[in-house]
């Protein structure tokens, strides 16, 4: 089913705020045509971060598995071969990272919001995210260095990776009253079937 009002959650992580990139990051999502329907600055606690990352019950397993694969391709010995345990280690690093300073929480709405936002955001590891994406353009971290320093990869942003995840993540950070339904005049050119009424 086509949903022209799909929603996605974006968090600007503490490094994005500290780097003075709030405006730049919002600009990149906003200019896509997606509509900002919620926005706030938060000091998160560890419980919120745990709930946020375990919205997907498979997240620890999947993240650990990806971590194991990146170790193997680089020929490095992982601290453990258990994907679930590695995922747990990433989660505890994330709690430290995500509670280290204020974050910005935002909800964007529009057609293909989840996929468009992931595309603008770029791949998880800044070292390999494409030029032109936010993570690829504004930062330089890698799994290798983050691992060496025993910390989470600093990649400026969280962005929901599925509509299912987005709905659950949004509920962690926003009440329904904090999300505003409104119309943008420019939406007609993005969504209307007929482009009548432009030429006078
Ligand atoms: P994404 O944020 O791109 O959806 P994940 O959901 O896999 O990526 O991971 C969540 C966050 O955890 C990442 O954005 C990153 O900050 C951190 N992270 C993921 N994998 C690792 C890792 N192997 N080592 C350190 N930090 C990691
Ligand atoms: Mg994710």
Q: Which helix (H) or strand (E) holds 157?
A: strand 157-159
- Residue pLDDT, tens place only, 173-193: 999 999 999 999 999 999 999
| Residue 124 beta carbon below 6 angstroms from any ligand 1 atom | yes
Altogether, the residues listed in the chain come to a count of 200
What span, in angstroms and rounded, lies between the C-alpha atoms of 117 and 160?
8
Beta bridge partners of 12: 104, 157
Phi, psi of 154 (to 5 degrees): -90, 105
Supply the pLDDT for residue 67: 86
- SS3 call for 131: strand
Q: What is the pLDDT of residue 74?
A: 79
pLDDT band at 48; cut points 50, 70, 90: very high
Report pLDDT for 103: 99
Within 8 A by CB and 6+ apart from 126, the residues are 135, 136, 139, 140, 141, 142, 153, 154, 155, 156
0.85 surpassed by pTM? yes
- Which residues are the active-site residues? 158
Mean pLDDT of the region 41-48: 98
**Number of helical H runs and strand E runs in the chain:** 10, 4
- Give one word for 197, left, alpha or beta, with left for phi > 0 and alpha for psi -120 to 50: left
CA 32 to chain centre: 16
Pocket perturbation via mutation, ligand 1, pick of 62, 152, 156 by most ligand atoms within 8 A of CB? 152
Measured CA to CA in angstroms, residue 17 lies from 12, 13, 45, 103, 192 at distances of 7, 7, 17, 7, 36
User: In this predicted model, what pLDDT tens digit does every residue of 141-177 receive, in sequence order?
Assistant: 998 899 899 999 999 999 999 999 999 999 999 999 9
Shortest-distance Cα residue to atom 2 of ligand 1: 158
pLDDT tens-digit readout, 63-112:
999 889 988 887 888 888 999 999 999 999 999 999 999 999 999 999 99
In order of their start, the domains of the chain are 7-44+94-191 (3.30.70.141)
């Amino acid at each position: 089913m086509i949903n022209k009002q799909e929603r996605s959650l974006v968090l600007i992580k503490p490094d994005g705020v500290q780097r003075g990139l709030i405006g730049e990051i919002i600009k990149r999502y906003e200019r896509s045509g997606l509509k900002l329907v919620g926005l706030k600055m938060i000091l998160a606690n560890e419980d919120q971060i745990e709930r946020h990352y375990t919205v997907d019950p498979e997240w620890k397993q999947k993240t650990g598995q990806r971590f194991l694969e990146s170790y193997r391709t680089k020929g490095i010995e992982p601290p453990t071969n258990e994907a679930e345990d590695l995922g747990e280690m990433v989660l505890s690093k994330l709690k430290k990272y995500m509670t280290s300073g204020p974050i910005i929480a935002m909800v964007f709405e529009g057609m293909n919001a989840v996929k468009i936002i992931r595309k603008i955001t770029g791949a998880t590891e800044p070292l390999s995210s494409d030029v032109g994406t936010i993570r690829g353009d504004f930062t330089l971290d890698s799994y290798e260095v983050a691992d060496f320093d025993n910390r989470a990869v600093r990649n400026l942003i969280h962005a929901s990776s599925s509509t299912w995840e987005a709905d659950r993540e949004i509920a962690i950070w926003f009440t329904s009253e904090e999300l505003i339904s409104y119309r943008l005049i420019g939406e007609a050119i993005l969504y209307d079937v007929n482009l009548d009424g432009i030429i006078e």
